[in-house]
Amino acid sequence: MSDGYGLLKGKKGIIFGALDDRSIAWRIALACKREGADFVLSNAPIALRLGALDKLGEETDAPIIPCDVTNDDEIEELMTKTKEHLGGVDFILHAIGMSPNVRKKKEYTDLNYNWYQQTLDVSAISLHRVLHHAEKSEILNDGGSVVALSYIGAQRIFSKYSDMNDAKALLESIARNYGSRLADRGIRVNTVSQAPTKTSAGTGIKGFDGMYTFAEKIAPMGNPSADECADYCVTLFSDLTRKVTMQNLYHDGGFVTAGISEEMIDDLAKLYSNDDE
Ligand SMILES: NC(=O)c1ccc[n+]([C@@H]2O[C@H](COP(=O)([O-])OP(=O)(O)OC[C@H]3O[C@@H](n4cnc5c(N)ncnc54)[C@H](O)[C@@H]3O)[C@@H](O)[C@H]2O)c1
């Protein structure tokens, strides 16, 4: 690991969503540590039972605090415990997403509505809950920074992403709306729209490999890795981005503005060429 730039020296934070060493939150935690931050790690109790997070906790010297982000009491408890460990915090990472409909391969036109509500609750409304409890407990310092991870399915149709497309649209809206209310304290709230990344949540999507390859071939720079996403998030937590707020920021190697790539044109031409002509 490089020595970093000391961008987060003296900063404290809460990192939600590290499950295993492929998790984007895991990579972000390592990058935050490299840049000098102290933080607590949190995940749902059921995820903690797998035990993988202990390793990251040891590596980054971070306490692990269980919290199901759909449960207000647990979030309140998390804020109290975090205060005991760190005092106030300067940054929060929300890297949480889960859809029972996607997991169980339900088509968008045939959703289980209880699961749909779970998708929205876990993947989007949880950002609102976390910010609400952060404010209520007065844990978030003035000038702080909140980042939630999103996906371009919020703007465009990616059929296999099913109800997660809706969850990401809501997540981005909550970031904007909360951002406007925290702006007078210098606190910014942004979403980072990351390209397909090979993590547990990512690869659990039916058709993920196709989505990954499509993005890889269209994006002029190719898909960014979880570690590259981590470096970008570090800049957003740092003091170098003090007036960036209420934005959805694409971290996708240029995919969002690309039409088609030369490679894709050549590949398609080969695939659909008529040998008889
Ligand atoms: N992997 C991708 O292709 C990709 C692309 C763009 C955005 N994202 C987003 O990045 C974020 C992190 O996902 P990831 O790809 O690193 O996968 P991941 O599976 O490693 O992380 C998802 C995390 O959400 C946690 N979680 C689920 N339910 C929870 C609950 N009730 N309470 C607390 N935590 C809960 C899981 O335990 C897990 O740690 C998600 O918001 C995801 O949608 C992922």
pLDDT digits (tens, 9 = 90+) for 105-117: 999 999 999 999 9
> Are 107 and 162 a contacting pair, CB within 8 Å?
yes
Tens of pLDDT, residues 105-150:
999 999 999 999 999 999 999 999 999 999 999 999 999 999 999 9
Determine the pLDDT at residue 130. 98
Q: How far apart are CA 132 and CA 75, in angstroms?
A: 10
The three-state secondary structure class of 14 is: strand
Give the pTM.
Answer: 0.97
Query: Does 174 appear as a known binding residue?
Result: no
Query: Does 68 appear as a known binding residue?
Result: yes
Q: How far apart are CA 158 and CA 125, in angstroms?
A: 21
Distances in Å between the Cα of 131 and the Cα atoms of 174, 215, 262 are 10, 32, 44
Determine the pLDDT at residue 100. 97
Decide: 196 in ligand 1 pocket, CB within 6 A. yes
Tens of pLDDT, residues 205-262:
888 999 999 999 999 999 999 999 999 999 999 999 999 999 999 999 999 999 999 9
Which DSSP symbol is given to 256? Answer: G
Query: Tokens 């970008």 identify what position?
Result: 232
Decide: 99 in ligand 1 pocket, CB within 6 A. no
Q: What is the mean pLDDT of residues 166-181?
A: 98
From the CA of 95, how far away is ligand 1's center (Å)?
A: 5
Distances in Å between the Cα of 6 and the Cα atoms of 9, 225, 238, 251 are 5, 22, 9, 22
Which DSSP symbol is given to 125? Answer: I
Decide: 70 in ligand 1 pocket, CB within 6 A. yes
The three-state secondary structure class of 37 is: coil
Which of 56, 96, 193 should be mutated for ligand 1, with most atoms under 8 A from CB?
96
Q: Which domains does the chain have, with CATH numbers?
A: 12-272 (3.40.50.720)
Q: How far apart are CA 155 and CA 34, in angstroms?
A: 33
> Are 12 and 86 a contacting pair, CB within 8 Å?
yes
The three-state secondary structure class of 65 is: strand
From the CA of 207, how far away is ligand 1's center (Å)?
A: 17
Query: Does 72 appear as a known binding residue?
Result: no
Catalytic residues: 151, 161
From the CA of 149, how far away is ligand 1's center (Å)?
A: 8
Q: How far apart are CA 87 and CA 235, in angstroms?
A: 22
Decide: 43 in ligand 1 pocket, CB within 6 A. yes
Decide: 189 in ligand 1 pocket, CB within 6 A. no
Which DSSP symbol is given to 43? Answer: E
In single-letter form, the type of residue at position 60 comes to: T
Which of 16, 21, 23 should be mutated for ligand 1, with most atoms under 8 A from CB?
23
- Ligand 1 atom closest to 96 (CA): 24
Query: Does 225 appear as a known binding residue?
Result: no
Distances in Å between the Cα of 234 and the Cα atoms of 99, 114, 155, 181, 226 are 27, 36, 25, 23, 12
Q: Which residues pair with 91 in a beta bridge?
A: 13, 145
Decide: 201 in ligand 1 pocket, CB within 6 A. yes
Instruction: Provide, rounded to the nearest whole percent, the portion of the chain with pLDDT above 90.
Output: 92
Which DSSP symbol is given to 160? Answer: G
In single-letter form, the type of residue at position 141 comes to: N
